[in-house]
Chain A
């Protein structure tokens, strides 16, 4: 028997089938969590926001266009929630001390990969929130400039300036000569 499609699970969840929604969450939770983790760079916050994403999605499930793909939609919901979360926390203490650092050890090559990943995550986390969200939507969710403008409800010119400045900052942090 074929596994149910996302569409099947959504239709079942709309009829109140909690198990179907649980299956949908299982299917997409890792990608949604990673959206949150890339933006927040804090595992606990990312898990909370991923959870919140699925709660919001459940509330909006009846308005979701069943002909569209669920994955891009839920990931955009997650990105927007993370942006709101960051903006709500703006006046708080610097996040750098709270941010996750992968301290696990392993073979040297593996450690190098992890260290590089950590550098990239730290660089992303150091960006202003609006830059971070645009990078997420462009690089990881592969939205066009127009789609990002529509999603964030900002002018196209802002999308470009945020994205290009973000890349400049990232390049300075990641490719700066030692």
Chain B
């Protein structure tokens, strides 16, 4: 009695539980040995199939993948949060100044502006040269417990901090 197709397949797949019996049979049966050789030849054919090269780089399509949300380092996230908080504080501080200053600014008409450009420019320069802090010009401004000069320095530092933070964020964005 010859080996079954299943026995030969399982033998070559190393999945047979009767290897010794099969080998004994193969030693004495030319027909089954020939069938096994034919099956082995098929295995060899399948193993010989070479890999083919890709014509495109699949990875290139993943680099700009938008669904990958860039995760910022913790310190940078903290910087962004702090600068947002600082900007909010700066806005709150600035609101009283603008609410008082804006109504008092007279916007010249186009023709007036055309004719008085030179004198306006001169007056601006003059104003700048003699500029005093708003509290002296607008007595209704709310009083802060800190010196205005200190406040301006603080706002400047916040601005620098903000610009620096944005620079880091943009640099990270370019690299992602």
- A: residues with CB less than 8 A from B are 13, 15-19, 21-23, 25-26, 29-31, 33-34, 37-38, 43, 47, 50-51, 54, 58, 113, 116-117, 120-121, 135, 138-140, 144-145, 160, 163-164, 167-168, 170-171, 174-175
Shortest Cβ distance from residue A44 to the other chain B in the assembled complex, whole angstroms: 9
Contacts of A43 in B (CB 8 A): 52, 55
Q: Find out whether the CB atom of A18 lies under 8 angstroms from the CB atom of B64.
A: yes
Interface of A is mostly: helix
Contacts of A138 in B (CB 8 A): 13
Q: Residue on A with the closest CB to B70? A: A16
Closest 10 CB pairs of A and B: A25-B59, A16-B71, A26-B59, A22-B59, A18-B68, A29-B58, A34-B51, A22-B62, A22-B63, A139-B46
Give A128 to B54 CA distance when docked, in angstroms. Answer: 25
Contacts of A144 in B (CB 8 A): 15
Given known pairs A18-B68, A25-B62, A175-B41, the reply for A47 and B51 (CB within 8 Å) is no
Q: Find out whether the CB atom of B51 lies under 8 angstroms from the CB atom of A139.
A: no
For this complex, 28 residue pairs linking A to B, each with C-beta atoms less than 8 Å apart, are A15-B71, A16-B69, A17-B68, A17-B71, A18-B70, A19-B176, A22-B59, A22-B62, A25-B59, A29-B57, A29-B58, A33-B52, A33-B54, A34-B52, A54-B58, A113-B50, A116-B48, A120-B48, A121-B49, A135-B46, A138-B13, A139-B47, A145-B13, A145-B15, A164-B5, A167-B39, A168-B5, A170-B42
